[in-house]
Structure formats: C-alpha cells, structure tokens
C-alpha cells in the first residue's frame, strides 16, 4: 500500500488563473477530536524561510496549533511537530530546504510519533512535493500556501488514516478572516492588506505561488490594527507584494492612500508598509505619508534595474526616467525620506550598457539600503525560457561591482548620522551582549547602545556616536 496520498498537486497553468472572484471566508476554527487528543502534552515549532508574508503565515499556523492544544517549543529539536515553511524566490532559498528536512531523519527514527510537515511557496511548484516525498520518507505532511486554513483537518486525516498526505491546491485564491494567530513579537506586528500578486514580472515566481492579487476588506484590516493598538503594539507594517494596488479590486475608489491614512489615524506610534511597486505610486499616497508623523519616512521601492530596456524585458511597467522622477517627487514632498531597494543582476542577456545604467542609477539615488540578488531562473516563469548569453563569471563580477556602489550609498547616509539624535524603537538586549540594547530608527537603521532591558518595546532618543555603515553605535540621550 502506498505510503503517501496525493490529495491535490499544484498546476502552474491553474496558478496563472486570474478569473475567479475571491470569496471571503469567515468560518470559526474547528479542532477535530483526534487532533485535540494528539496535541495534549505535545509541542510544535515552525521554521520559516522567505519574506514577511511567510512570517505572518507562521503566526497563523501557530494560532491553529495553539487552538488545538499544542504548546510552542523553544526549538525545533525539542518539538513533537515541526513545520518547515519554505520560500521559492531563488534557487539558493530552495537548496537550504533539503538540508533542513534531512536534519529530522534521526528524530523520526527515535520517535514514531514525531510529525514533520513542509509548506510554503516552494510546495506550490510542480513536482516539488513528489520529489520531497520520494527522497525523504519521514515527511508526513506537505501543504501549500492556500491550504493553511485547513491544516488541522489535514493533520486529523494523517492521524486517522496513518498515511502521509500531500495537499497543494493551485487556484486564484480566497481571503480567510477570523484567522487564529500567535504573534512572534509583542511590539512590532505585520498586517496583511493584500494577498498574492498580479504583476507577473517575468523573472518572478510569486504570482504563481501566492495566487491573484486580492485585498482584505477595509473593516477587517482596521479591526486588526485597532486591536494591536489596544494591545500596546508600537509598530505596524502593512504587508502586500504590492501595497499600492490595495483596494483597486473593490472598484469603489478605495486606494492604498485611504487605508494608510485610516490606519495612521488609529494612533499606532509607528506605521510602515511594504512593498511599493514604483509603477503605480500615486501623489495621493505621498501626501498621506507626508501628513502623518507616525507614518515612517522610509520607503522600500524596488528598482530591479536602472535600464529601461532591461525593465521592459523584466515586465516592470516603468522606465529609468519615470523611476527617477518618482524618487524626485518623494524627496520633494517628503524631505529626508529614506529609500531602500531591491536589485537583480544578471537577468538574461544583460548588456554592459544595461548594467552600467543600474550602477549609475544607484550612484544618483544613493539608497539607504539595498538588497542585491543574482538572477535565478524559476521554472514556469517567462524569463526562465529565455536564452542567456552572459557567463556566470561576468554575473558575479557585476554583482561585486554593484555591491561597492550600493555600499557607498549606505555609508553616505550613515556617516551623516553621527552626532545626531534619533527616535529608536528598542527591540531588546542584543544577542552578543545583554548590556547592549538594539533597535531601529525611523529610516530602519540599526543602532546599538547601552541601557536597561526594561526599555524594550519603548521609543527612546539615542545619539549616534559611531558609524559602522550597516549599524550604528549610540548612547541614550
Ligand atoms: N513584491 C516585491 C518583491 C518580492 S520578491 C516587489 O515587487 O518588489 C523580493 C525580491 O526578490 C524582488 O524584489 C527581486 O529583487 C528578487 N527576486 C524575485 N525573483 C527573483 C529571481 N528569479 N532571481 C533573483 N531575484 C529575484
Ligand atoms: Fe514578483 Fe513583480 Fe509581483 Fe514583486 S511585483 S511579487 S517582483 S511579480
Ligand atoms: Fe519567498 Fe514566497 Fe515570500 S517565494 S519571498 S516566501 S512570497
């Protein structure tokens, strides 16, 4: 008898589907009896890779497990139920997953009740589940990004049938509200405002792994944020693959500017958002950001490339000129606003000229921080089918050159900070030295300074004394 039941497997053509109207589901959480019994005295741990969207999914899964009666284990080594929450955005994100799964072989041999699940974006790729189930006979559950609200039923079926299960649906996606959740931080929270992505940049797997772009109802977002304010949270980050698109699917004039303003008015001390696509960043949004002191003046604005011809091949819908014009508008309306970005080097057939355009754009803009990546072909995306005439060596050389330019921008901003005083939201004692606290400024710079642990979760004034480029040393002012 087969060990594994494949209930559903992903299909890239269905993942591309954008025709369905998303439903909002508001069911109460149901805990099957056998899961309740199994959870008694047992603990869970979720190991998350990837972006903030996955972090939020971890919190929701934790919510389901705790409703069932599991407690949270201090580490994955101690847990009776481990879930590996994967990312598929680049090849190297995926390679790490195999090593991580392999770690649990011994644990499985020692404890027949130990349960291992794998979920997240990588599971939405065709054949990933099959490959994992074949190579790792101790994986018990595989489920996709759309299947999270069903995890307790899946676990119940696994316990009942004593079979390993794969349940990964590909579809445009619904919105589930009333999600249980155990937040990972007491002071900083992520709140989803949109799910999925409809941009289909030619290199990117996310629209296939996360489904169509769909906005949560304004009332649901506001209710979640209001509760966080009441619980004493200091910072909310509104999340979406492209927050600018918020509300467009309602066709009633609701926009990202509307929701941003309404959340700001709830009085959260710090409000952030990510990610903004440079393509539909409205002046209305800029006006709201400028108007509210609690909206942090720090915008993550992924450019990907500084070359118009490359941007066209990437399907990014803006040009070098329109991007630079937006940077200008931001800096005029919001003086001192920090800008951060993402850049891809080595997209198929990148010419020297196109790469130089990226370097010169970075020199012009001088980002406060930039995440740089070497292009990684993702099966099923249009770019993965493009022939490429650039060698790996050249890609790495370009990557190193880009890092130097990016670093110069970071140093430019950080050197200006020395001697000035900033508001810092204290995360708590640093890992290396319990007497040193660390926290972030409005522009997301990390500052380490001496102070009592009791300051954790408060916003304090810190004077910067030393510049270490990617982090600062300071003293309580
Ligand atoms: N929605 C966000 C980003 C999501 S992915 C946005 O549009 O900005 C985060 C970053 O990963 C992207 O900005 C891009 O720089 C990078 N990325 C995505 N796909 C990639 C690929 N195939 N290879 C290398 N980097 C990639
Ligand atoms: Fe990917 Fe582009 Fe969507 Fe960002 S906007 S998630 S890069 S497809
Ligand atoms: Fe990775 Fe999925 Fe996020 S691919 S970056 S975890 S949306």
Q: What is the pLDDT of residue 469?
A: 82
Contact 15, 175 (CB under 8 A): no
Determine the pLDDT at residue 431.
80
Structure tokens at 371: 């995440």
Nearest one of 244, 248, 246, 298 to 271, comparing CA atoms: 298
- Report how far residue 125's alpha carbon sits from residue 161's, in angstroms, rounded to the nearest whole number: 26
Q: Is the pLDDT of residue 183 over 80?
A: yes
Residue of the nearest CA to atom 4 in ligand 2? 241
DSSP 152-204: HHHHHHHHHHT-EEEE---SS--EE-S-----S-SSEEEEESEES-----TT-
Does the structure show a pLDDT above 70 at 1?
A: no
pLDDT of 144 > 90? The answer is yes
Smallest-distance ligand from the CA of 300 = 1
Q: What does the alpha-carbon distance between residue 88 and residue 95 come to, in Å, rounded to a whole number? A: 10
pLDDT band at 430 (very low <50, low <70, confident <90, very high): confident
- Which atom of ligand 3 sits closest to the CA of residue 88? 4
CB-side neighbour CA atoms (13 Å) of 222: 13
Mutate which of 54, 192, 208 for ligand 3? The one with the most ligand atoms within 8 Å of its CB, which is 54
pLDDT tens digits, one per residue of 353-397:
999 999 999 999 999 999 999 999 999 999 999 999 999 999 999
Q: Where are the domains of the chain?
A: 4-167, 421-476
Cα–Cα distances in Å, from 186 out to 59, 189, 317, 456? 12, 8, 38, 10
SS3 25: strand
- Choosing from 194, 199, 242, 279 the residue with most ligand 2 atoms within 8 A of its CB, the one to mutate for a pocket test is 199
Beta-bridged to residue 428, according to DSSP, are 438
Q: Rounded to whole angstroms, how far apart are CA atoms 116 and 3?
A: 15
Q: 235, 230, 228, 225: which is closest to 259 by C-alpha?
A: 225
Ligand 3, atom nearest to 52 Cα: 3
205 CA to centre of ligand 2 in angstroms: 8
The tens digit of pLDDT for each residue in 418-428 reads: 999 999 999 99
pLDDT value of position 178: 94
Q: What ligand has the least distance to the C-alpha of 376?
A: 1
CA atoms within 13 A on the CB side of 351: 9
Q: Over the stretch 122-132, which tens digit does the pLDDT of each residue have? A: 999 999 999 99
Cα separation values, 231 from 42, 68, 345, 459, Å: 28, 24, 43, 16
Let me know: does 476 contact 451? Beta carbons within 8 Å.
yes
Please check whether residue 402 is in contact with residue 119, taking contact to mean a CB–CB distance below 8 angstroms: no
What integer best gives the mean pLDDT of the chain? 96
| Cβ atoms 310, 349 nearer than 8 A | no
Is 417 in contact with 364 (CB distance < 8 Å)? no
| Inter-residue contact 470 to 411 (CB < 8 Å) | no
Cα-only R_g, the chain: 23
Residue 70 reports pLDDT greater than 90 = yes
Q: Can you give the pLDDT at residue 31?
A: 98
Phi, psi of 307 (to 5 degrees): -115, 130
CA–CA gap between residue 273 and residue 94 (Å, rounded): 27
pLDDT over threshold 70, residue 402: yes
pLDDT per residue as tens digits for the range 4-41: 999 999 998 899 998 888 999 999 999 999 999 999 99
Which atom of ligand 1 lies at the shortest distance from residue 342's CA? 15
CA of residue 361 to ligand 1 center, whole Å: 18
User: In angstroms, rounded to a whole number, what is the distance separating the alpha carbons of residues 420 and 155?
Assistant: 54
Which residue is associated with the tokens 């972090």? 55
**What are the two backbone dihedrals, phi and then psi, of residue 463, each rounded to the nearest 5 degrees?**
-95, 130
pLDDT at 288: 98
In the structure, what pLDDT confidence band is assigned to residue 102 with cuts at 50, 70 and 90? very high
Show the tokens assigned to 75.
Answer: 């580490």
Domain 4-167 has CATH 3.40.50.12160: yes
Place of tokens 């008015």: 265
**pLDDT per position as a tens digit, 203-242:** 999 999 999 999 999 999 999 999 999 999 999 999 999 9
Which ligand sits nearest to residue 303's alpha carbon? 1
Quote the pLDDT of residue 21: 87
* C-beta separation of 201 from 241 below 8 A: no
Please indicate whether residue 197, judged by its CB atom, sits closer than 6 Å to ligand 2: yes
Q: Kindly tell me the sign of the dihedral angle through the C-alpha atoms of 175, 178, 180, 186.
A: positive
What mean pLDDT do residues 82-101 have?
Answer: 94
Question: Would you say the CB of residue 241 lies under 6 angstroms from ligand 2?
Answer: yes
pLDDT in tens, 279-311: 989 999 999 999 999 999 999 999 999 999 999
- Please tell me the CATH code under which domain 421-476 is placed: 2.40.50
């Amino acid at each position: 008898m087969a060990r594994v039941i494949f209930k559903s497997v992903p299909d890239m053509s269905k993942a591309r589907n954008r025709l369905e109207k998303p439903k909002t589901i508001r069911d109460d959480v149901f805990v099957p009896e056998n899961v309740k019994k199994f959870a008694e005295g047992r603990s869970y741990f979720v190991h998350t890779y990837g972006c903030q969207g996955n972090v939020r999914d971890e919190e929701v899964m934790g919510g389901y497990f705790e409703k069932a009666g599991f407690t949270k284990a201090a580490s994955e080594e101690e847990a009776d139920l481990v879930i590996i929450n994967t990312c598929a955005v680049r090849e190297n994100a995926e390679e790490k997953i195999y090593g991580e799964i392999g770690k649990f072989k011994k644990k499985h041999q020692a404890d027949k009740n130990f349960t291992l699940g794998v979920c997240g974006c990588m599971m939405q790729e065709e054949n990933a589940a099959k490959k994992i189930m074949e190579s790792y006979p101790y994986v018990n559950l595989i489920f996709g990004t759309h299947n999270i609200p069903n995890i307790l039923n899946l676990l119940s079926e696994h316990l009942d049938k004593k079979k390993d299960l794969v349940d990964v649906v590909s579809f445009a996606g619904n919105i589930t509200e009333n999600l249980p959740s155990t937040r990972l931080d007491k002071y900083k929270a992520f709140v989803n405002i949109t799910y999925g992505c409809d941009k289909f940049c030619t290199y990117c797997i996310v629209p296939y792994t996360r489904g169509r772009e769909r906005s949560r109802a304004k009332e649901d977002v506001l209710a979640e944020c209001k509760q966080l304010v009441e619980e004493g949270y200091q910072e909310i980050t509104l999340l979406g693959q492209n927050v600018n698109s918020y509300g467009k699917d309602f066709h009633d004039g609701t926009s990202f500017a509307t929701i941003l303003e309404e959340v700001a008015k709830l009085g959260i001390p710090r409000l952030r958002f990510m990610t903004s696509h440079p393509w539909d960043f409205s002046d209305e949004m800029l006006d709201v950001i400028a108007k509210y002191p609690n909206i942090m003046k720090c915008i993550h604005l992924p450019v990907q490339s500084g070359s118009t011809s490359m941007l066209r091949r990437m399907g990014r819908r803006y040009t070098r000129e329109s991007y630079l014009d937006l940077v200008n508008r931001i800096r005029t309306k919001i003086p001192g606003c920090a800008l951060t970005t993402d850049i891809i080097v080595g997209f198929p057939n990148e010419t020297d000229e196109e790469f130089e355009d990226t370097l010169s754009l970075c020199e012009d803009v001088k980002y406060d921080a930039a995440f740089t990546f070497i292009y990684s072909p993702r099966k099923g995306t249009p770019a993965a089918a493009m022939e490429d005439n650039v060698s790996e060596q050249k890609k790495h050389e370009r990557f190193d050159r880009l890092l130097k330019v990016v670093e110069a921008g970071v140093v430019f901003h950080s050197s200006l900070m020395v001697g000035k005083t900033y508001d810092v939201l204290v995360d708590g004692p640093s890992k290396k030295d319990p007497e040193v606290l660390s926290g972030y400024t409005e522009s997301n710079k990390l500052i380490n300074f001496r102070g009592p642990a009791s300051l954790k979760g408060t916003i304090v004034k810190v004077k910067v004394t030393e510049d270490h480029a990617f982090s600062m040393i300071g003293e309580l002012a």
